[in-house]
Amino acid sequence: MQLLRNKMQQATSRRPVGAAAGGDREPGPGLESAVAGAEGGGDGDGEAELLPSPFTFSSRRIFLQKEDEFFEDGDIHRHLYLQNALTSVGEVERPKVSEFCCHIAGCSQLFDTLENYEHHYNTFHRNVCSSCKRSFPSSHLLDIHILEWHDSLFQILAAKQNMYVCLVESCAEKFKASSDRKKHLIKVHGYPPDFRFDKPKKPKRKANGLSSFLPHSNQRNQDKSSHDMDVETSSCQKETTDIFCGTSTELMDHVSVETMEAESPSVSGQEKSTTMQQRPFYSYRVPATICFGHGSVRGFKNPRKKK
Amino acid sequence: MIRGRGAEVRSRNRACGVEEIKARRRQQERALRKARKEKQLVSKRLPRGLQGDGEEMEIRETSVTKEEVLQLFQRIQRGSDDRLAALRSLRQMLQLKETQQMFVRFENSIHVLISLFTSNLASVQLEATRCLLELSHSDDQSISLVCLPATPYLLTYLSGQSAKFTELCLYILGNLAAENEAVRNQLLVQGVIQALAICLQSPHGAVVEAAAYSLSQMLQAKEAGEKIIPSVLEANLTPHLIRLLDLDCEFGMQTAVECAWCLHYIVSSGVNSECMISQGLIRQAVILLIALGRAVGSGTTTDGMELVLMLLGNIAEMGLEYCEKLQHQTGIFPALCITLRTADPEAVRLTLEVLNLILSRCEQACVSFANQNGILALEAIQYNSNEDIRVRANFLMDKYFANKAI
């Protein structure tokens, strides 16, 4: 089966001539004499008589099914090559260490291998927004986030021109609104509608009418996911240090729905609570420009000063 | 079914004589040929080093029941501490085809797996990724289709900074891309070519090799000539591939061979690839050939030699202009003389083929070849035990060097 390439037999222009492989195709009847004719043509000047050329290769396109005998030798060869390639890789020694914790402030994930820790660090503590501490899987998504969330000029410009950049790095399209971008992602790039890294900027409001103060409030979207375009930071695992985790209990109903949305619609209802405990909470950030005074739940009980 | 893991690992560690090795290899080959006839041969890229944490990845049981797999799935869905252990067990079981089939048929199983694949808990994410890698290994087209929802995330993660994770994602992508056109189409519209271009420039050798592998899987598709190769040329990927042929760039032989495969697919597709010649393809290919010849000479078996010879042959076949460039390239004839002297009859035959292509088109080449002691090497081959080789060597000698025979 030609799952991978075939090492020696290519069903396109290059075909090894006279290969001892089973199923080698003989060149067409006209080819040999034609080639010989061309080769022998210039030798009619008294040189010894030459046999027709044994080199019969000529470039042409041949299509063969992957089960064709022609590929047998190549398949076998490749299989053995892969096995040999695999064995050397499998013998790497992994250093054993006792369980340790991530040392980044606020992150409490535990690890028992350096490899896992390295992965964790590179994925969750690298592309971090300095304003709101969210982390992103790539610098591209981080840049988009900073632009759309923390750049005051962005809102002004966005009113006049298309500023929402497509999330696919190689795509140069820009859009008027994030909903347009989302439609583009679905239609052109085949992205799922619940793509984890494209949630609209929608701070979650309790139903107390404060939404009107927010620049992007949109009543229609209130029950929709209010997640951001990020990977929740593990800082949220430490409930006490982050007010938004503290408030999550009151928002449990909403949160659990949205967790499902972002995670997968399939996660069964019975494990909602366990999922909640396990997964860091989504943060419902209040823009720094909004102040609710001292008594508000969403105020600044957070010992960490907002920037 | 021949899966080709594990057993071979252990048997290689035993000390044994050369004859024993040869006999075992012949037996292996017979078994593989039989398996292939029965359509049981599955050989995909599944780097074990990425899968294990140093543990032996043997399957203890040879069959699983639906209940066992379902139980694992439920433990995974339920979450909390048990999830990681269940994922590990699932990953081991997914080496079996039956498990793969059962797992994908549970309602929402892939969805759950993908959501864990995008989790922010490192160990869970890695384990889920390894499960996906096992699934990607399947030759069942329906399974690769089922994994389609993972592709936007796989591609997003390619821009990340966790080298190990990127490597895993690349192998998953490569394996899925090999399977069917629908997957490849989706990857194309999601920007896979550009993403691979970035990965090819990574400082991590393992990532580069994995990227070249994935690219080769895209390029070997039957629709590659129309749909994929033009984009690859346009995205300016080829200078990177060509640069990576040079073993001195510290990424090793395997990476160079993977890149050679990519270039081979492009050249043999028939798509106009003259730009690659001006990007130094010939020079780099000759350098690689010399290195491979040396490696064969010193005993490290390499499978790249025929590949590079085919590449050179295809370039020669492009016309007189290219033959002139080839024969002009320093080191090409010495390199071909080295490959002429190898024990592998296929390599020798291919070398003669390449020589014929060049010599038949370019007279200057005959002179250059003779000046660089090519005749001696050719003469030695006239006494080769293989008849095909003798016939071809004689032909070349008679035709081009009859008056120069020593």
Q: What is the pLDDT of residue B39?
A: 60
Mean pLDDT of B40-49: 57
Q: What is the pLDDT of residue A203?
A: 58
CB contact under 8 A, B191 and A271: no
Share of chain B above pLDDT 70, in %: 87
Tell me the chain B residues in contact with residue A18 when contact means C-beta distances shorter than 8 Å: 349, 388
Average pLDDT, chain A: 60
Q: Which two tokens stand for residue B87?
A: 């994922």
- A116-162 pLDDT per residue, tens: 888 999 999 999 999 988 889 999 999 999 999 999 899 899 999 99
The residue to which tokens 């050719």 are assigned: B378
Comparing A101-105, A179-183, B228-232, which segment has the lowest mean pLDDT? A101-105
Phi first, then psi, for residue A155 (nearest 5°) are -60, -40
Asked if residues B347 and B359 have their Cβ atoms less than 8 Å apart, the reply is: no
CB contact under 8 A, A43 and B152: no
- B358-384 pLDDT per residue, tens: 999 988 999 999 988 889 999 998 888
**More confident of the two residues B178 and A248:** B178
Q: What is the pLDDT of residue A287?
A: 63
Asked if residues B90 and B81 have their Cβ atoms less than 8 Å apart, the reply is: no
Q: What is the pLDDT of residue B38?
A: 65
Q: What is the pLDDT of residue B49?
A: 54
The model's confidence at residue A202, banded by pLDDT at 50, 70 and 90, is low
Tell me the chain A residues in contact with residue B351 when contact means C-beta distances shorter than 8 Å: none
Q: How many CB pairs under 8 A join A and B?
A: 268
Q: Given phi > 0 = left and psi -120 to 50 = alpha, else beta, which region is B299?
A: left
pLDDT at B23 over 90: no
Among all residues of chain A, which has the CA nearest to that of B393?
Answer: A54
Comparing B18-22, B55-59, B101-105, B356-360, which segment has the lowest mean pLDDT? B55-59
**More confident of the two residues A242 and A190:** A190
Tell me the chain A residues in contact with residue B164 when contact means C-beta distances shorter than 8 Å: 115, 118-119
A4-13, A51-60, A292-301, range with greatest mean pLDDT: A51-60
Tell me the chain A residues in contact with residue B363 when contact means C-beta distances shorter than 8 Å: none
Distance CA B32, CA B38 (A): 10
Tell me the chain A residues in contact with residue B264 when contact means C-beta distances shorter than 8 Å: 10, 14
Among all residues of chain A, which has the CA nearest to that of B313?
Answer: A14
Considering just the CA atoms, what is the radius of gyration of chain A in Å? 31
Asked if residues B169 and B154 have their Cβ atoms less than 8 Å apart, the reply is: yes
Q: What is the pLDDT of residue A226?
A: 33
Q: What is the pLDDT of residue A235?
A: 35
Mean pLDDT of A13-39: 31
The model's confidence at residue B62, banded by pLDDT at 50, 70 and 90, is low
**More confident of the two residues B119 and A49:** B119
A217-226, A246-255, B198-207, range with greatest mean pLDDT: B198-207
Helix (H) or strand (E) holding A66: none
Best of A9, A78, A80, A112 to disrupt the B interface (most B CBs within 10 Å) is A80
Mean pLDDT of B60-66: 72
The residue to which tokens 């060597």 are assigned: B393
Largest CA distance in chain A: 110
Handedness of CA A289, A294, A298, A303 (dihedral sign): positive
Distance CA A253, CA A257 (A): 7
Q: What is the pLDDT of residue A172?
A: 93
Residue among A257, A210, A237, A1 nearest A120 (CA)? A237
Tell me the chain A residues in contact with residue B198 when contact means C-beta distances shorter than 8 Å: 169
Mean pLDDT of A192-214: 63
Handedness of CA B192, B304, B267, B369 (dihedral sign): positive
Residue A233, min C-alpha distance to chain B (Å): 7
Mean pLDDT of B168-173: 95
CB contact under 8 A, B29 and A93: no
Mean pLDDT of B288-305: 81
B187-196, B218-227, B296-305, range with greatest mean pLDDT: B187-196
CB contact under 8 A, B349 and A17: yes
Phi first, then psi, for residue A66 (nearest 5°) are -70, -15
Comparing A20-29, A164-173, B138-147, which segment has the lowest mean pLDDT? A20-29
Q: What is the pLDDT of residue A306?
A: 42
pLDDT at B240 over 90: yes
The model's confidence at residue B313, banded by pLDDT at 50, 70 and 90, is very high
pLDDT at B75 over 70: yes
Tell me: ipTM over 0.90: no
Comparing A96-105, A184-193, A211-220, which segment has the lowest mean pLDDT? A211-220
Share of chain B above pLDDT 90, in %: 52
Tell me the chain B residues in contact with residue A264 when contact means C-beta distances shorter than 8 Å: 108, 111-112, 114-115
pLDDT at B244 over 50: yes
pLDDT at B206 over 60: yes
Q: What is the pLDDT of residue B349?
A: 92
Among all residues of chain B, which has the CA nearest to that of A260?
Answer: B115
Residue among B320, B298, B313 nearest B349 (CA)? B313
Best of B45, B161, B214 to disrupt the A interface (most A CBs within 10 Å) is B161
Among all residues of chain B, which has the CA nearest to that of A109?
Answer: B121
CB contact under 8 A, B80 and A120: no
CB contact under 8 A, A109 and B121: yes
* Distance spanning both ends of chain B, measured CA to CA: 56
Query: Residue A61, class by beta-carbon neighbours within 10 Å (0-12 exposed, 13-18 middle, 19+ buried)?
Result: exposed
